[in-house]
Structure 1
Amino acid sequence: MSENVLEVKDLITAFRMEDGDWVRAVDGVSFRVPKGKTVGIVGESGCGKSVTSMSIVGLLPKPMGHVLGGEVLFKGEDLTRTSDKRMHQVRGGEIGVIFQEPMTALNPVHRIGKQISESLILHRGMNKREALKESVALLEKVGIPAPEERVMEYPHQLSGGMRQRVVIAIALACKPDLLIADEPTTALDVTVQSQILELMADLQAEMGMSTILITHDLGVIAGHCDEVVVMYAGRVVERAPVQTLFSSPQHAYTRGLLQAIPTLETPRKSRLNTIEGQVAAISDFVPGCRFCQRMERSGDTLKTRAPFVEIFEDHWVEACPECVDVSSLSAS
């Protein structure tokens, strides 16, 4: 058996436009999720993080979105080639998903207990009474007070933090092997964010599951992940253990992200560092280095995609000579 619960290999996901052309939102993405570990995926809005996660669980919008190539190996099974019936078993059963925006992830017209019970009845074969009892236990596990009362309430009666705990309870109801958490702390205040992340870490340790944590927040990545995948314009530009990435970032985009974070030593009211330029429209992506495209560079780096190479142990980078120190590559 592989030590990885999930292996994504050269994943290509595209959307068909109204004129019939295909645009690639995910372009040759590869990473792995070891058993019991947390892998963070970080990058700007529109870089392909959420599309990657939806490709894994087969939730791309139809008929526009399609996986055009690559493999998604979940416990050795390629989910890109499995049947719809099998995907229904995997999704919610063996892979749990925490969607963005807890305010909209729950159905406003159904009680909390019914929404949790649905997964238990479908995947664990419980009857309604058993499922409701287990729903109460799950709400208690995720730290919701008076769970016997909350199961009979509607989403609008709960705070944002409590709604997010309900979403986590639904995702963990069937004790999945893999949890995909897509911006799980969006729109929550800092204190509640910390509580939610600690809760997820505790439940992961208790259940022994693996986690993909998608976020914009590098502080969350530093505190809660074992490995980091940095995405830009639909591609992975760097992948490394979390300590390695923060101490020795190699790609210019990764360095730019880290330099944009204010520190305790940052003078008050000083101008924060930013990354120059803007991400190109998806229809205008060049075949070569897309960060060079942002920097308005010219030359061969825009025409040919640089190889994704291992420069140090478990430290991989898209080796564009304009974005990566060549001496680091030669030293490895």
Structure 2
Amino acid sequence: MAGATRPPAARRRAPARVLLQACPVCGRLRPSTELATHVNACLDAGNWPSSGAQTTTTTTTTLDAPGRDSASAVPSHAPEVSLTQNVNVNKKRAREEKDKDKEEEEEVDNDDSHEPAKRVAAPTTSSFLAAWNAPRLAGHFVLENVITEAAELDLLRFLGDPTKGSSSKQCEPMWRLRHFNGTAYGKSWGIQTNLAGRTQSPPSLRIPSALRCVVDAVRERASHVPHIGSTWEPTEANAIAYVPRLGHSLEPHADDRNLSGPAIATLSLGADAIMTFTEEKGTRRVRVPLPRRSIAIQTGPSRYAWLHSIQNGDLQGELRVSLTFRRGKFEMERRDCWE
């Protein structure tokens, strides 16, 4: 109609800006707000890429976010930060923290009023995250939070504090300082293995029923893992207690590949750690974080082609206890190995 004025055009909303990041496990792009949940789902499913796989990075991408006002999204004037930049910042911080820790160690070593320091720098948050983002190892599975904090505390009380000796209430056998594959306290149950004679014999101490909850958790959370399934029944268990201030560590080694079965499960208690895998016939190294209350399972290449170790500086906290379960080569009835 002549002389009529057009209504003002509707103001177009600016599209929300969403940061996409690559999952360090499967490599798929996910919104940064959903990445943690997605990674945990990948871990539970055991979708590890091969040891040579590399983590993919991506920059900020603009996406339409249906049902969201642009005011609630990232402001348009906010600087775009890429995942690559974040990784570079973390690396820089890790280098600075490493240099600082080295300076502190030198100061302690030059101080004649103290005993020589056995303890090296504890892993920093940056180094733990760097290990988390490292390439994954084929055949190695880490399942987080398989037991509750209350169950963790019950197990630690049951095992006892190795630093208090006989004054600590603990289950049999008593903790003993061992120098096998590194220095740490240890105790064991189930079948007895003679590595020199290459034989196994019935147990002198059966596996305590108090540890049954760990096996149940492995069956429930790792039924998809090769050689585990829902009927996995270990015949041997051992506990190792690491006290970082005493210089404890685990030297590079492989659990016996003939006398023990194809799957080994280890529960971490008390503190986090970082395990280093070294290719037995090569030069590659992969660092894998082991959070407390997590279960790590070695199968396939991680069991038969790599050595594993824990450096003293990769032990966190004042005490870390590992509970490792194996199934011996020779079949034995459950009643012979468990209380």
The two structures have a TM-score, normalised by structure 1, of 0.22
Computing the radius of gyration from Cα coordinates, the structure with the larger value is 2
> Which structure carries more helix by proportion?
1
The two structures have a TM-score, normalised by structure 2, of 0.22
